Chains A and B, each alone.
Chain A
């Protein structure tokens, strides 16, 4: 147990939490529009998994992508500017919340057609294999993508060709408002989906950032030596609504259920571990709050002060010259 290491993980999760809380605020002020899907409650999955990567590994995910992008180290100012639709955003304001991309960090994007990015992940892994490299791909998606045909086509190809991709199913138990038992025949046996293709699979507590990292370090290390797909089911929970259009609990789940799950808040769990080992105290966490608060404030200020794209940008990037 290393103090710096644990506090660094905590800080990353805290950054995502505070960044998204601020995004929700900015949404209420109409500074951010469109769809905004918050990751609050699920931070330990992205932070734990991405902590196991090298800078040259690929990350790809679905539309609930702020957490993964920040965990990959993207500049919070550029991410916030993208949410604001500003020219200084990661994607020049053309992608928005659901389509963050940070190519230099090999963060290959958020995709908003459920299941559609799993084949892309196999392609990134294919490129790694083609070039005989020892990189890996982390592909995040919700359990709502599991019944989609494209997910199965991707599993089959990855298994057939031993492609170095870790499929990380963030199982938050609700596909938008549909609880898994109403949408997924194998809802109680998610791992079997992968195993039926011969893909090794393990479940992990997605609220425990250390457990997620431990598993991913082990898996990624193995895949670098012996490439092939791996499937992780990270059991997690979304504390907020599906999007900003959906209240925290909605009609499809109870307030009591959400409150019950909040007792296993990933930030709280890690903080408890840190304090139990006497590695940091109230003052340290207050200090982290101050630092992260400053980062978020600076990000918002950057987004506010940035210009909107000029009309000329409309036709840029449709085609490459």
Chain B
């Protein structure tokens, strides 16, 4: 079935809420407004206001409330209108959700999914365009997922809702309208499993979330020049499926990592370190990172475009790595 990313998320939540009474959805505008990005369209009608809760604009408060409910055995889905607003809930996420299980010696657990769009859309300026996955990935006790396709979005969200741990689920505004094949009926995609999205032999490109789509387009361009690119999508950022990444690098001998977030201490730095540690002898060249520029996101379109990785930059980086530039 051809579904949009938005519809895939809607189905995943709907099916899991039908299956499990403990699951409820809480966030700004998730109910009567039908979701700021219409991900929860029809939910308040089907599940009622006790399971679909519109909140005031208080991210720390309602994320903390959801964590408390999870401690009592419910399984909340917190929708953050964008992950930029998640910064206000960082105390709750970092100091409570990820630590309560450990601090209590395993007496308590916090089964919760905190989801919403990260990364830039179009000209939303500095406070609404951030890619903060490295912040979340840094903290032990949290799983972090960033699917790129409707298929993976649905399968991974269902897995997240069957997991007993806190999960950050990173979407993207520019992915909500993208379409892809989604199987009929119940299926899951396991957390912590990468996927080779395109096989190739000359170079491995690792990319996730909306950068994956760019990487696939770039691979298409490069194929016209007889350059064979293998594109790997980690899908789960933590725990990272290093085995899959390393296997690909061992085959191609070259690695380009694409991420929209800032370079310094970005996720790509960690991926590179892990690959160097396990596949150094297989690399024919240093690992190349393509990242967002280290500036607050500018509003002006030309400047914004210059701040975010694009297809041409990936093509150029691959050609340079293969010394064809």
Contact = CB atoms under 8 A, between A and B. Distances in A.
26 contacts: A91-B103, A91-B107, A92-B105, A99-B103, A101-B105, A108-B71, A116-B96, A117-B96, A119-B68, A119-B92, A120-B65, A120-B96, A122-B65, A123-B65, A123-B71, A124-B69, A126-B68, A127-B69, A127-B72, A130-B74, A154-B64, A156-B58, A157-B61, A317-B101, A317-B102, A320-B101
B95 A113 contact: yes
Given A91-B104, A123-B69, A154-B61, A319 B141 contact: yes
A153 interface: yes
B221 to A, nearest CB: 40
Contacts of A317: 101-102, 104-106
B63 interface: yes
A320 B103 contact: no
Nearest to A98: B103
Most buried by A among B63, B103, B108: B103
Interface of A: 58, 89-95, 99, 101-103, 108-109, 111, 113, 116-128, 130, 149-150, 153-154, 156-157, 160, 316-321
B212 to A, nearest CB: 26
Contact of B104 (A58, A109, A117, A121): A109
Nearest to A149: B60
A124 B72 contact: yes
A102 B102 CA distance: 13
A122 B141 contact: no
A16 to B, nearest CB: 21
B109 to A, nearest CB: 5
Given A128-B72, A160-B56, A122 B105 contact: no
B103 A109 contact: yes
Interface string B256-282: 000000000000000000000000000
Interface string B42-67: 00000000100001101011111111
Given A109-B108, A130-B50, A119 B60 contact: yes
Contacts of B66: 123
Nearest to B166: A319
Nearest to A155: B61
A124 B68 contact: yes
B40 interface: no
B70 interface: yes
A112 to B, nearest CB: 8
Contact of B106 (A116, A117, A123, A316): A316
A223 B286 CA distance: 65
B126 to A, nearest CB: 22
A108 to B, nearest CB: 6
A122 B143 CA distance: 25
B311 to A, nearest CB: 37
Contacts of B103: 91, 94-95, 99, 101, 109
B63 to A, nearest CB: 7
Nearest to A96: B103
B61 A150 contact: yes
Contacts of A125: 68
Contact of A123 (B58, B68, B104, B108): B68
B227 interface: no
Contact of A109 (B56, B70, B72, B100): B100
A94 B96 CA distance: 14
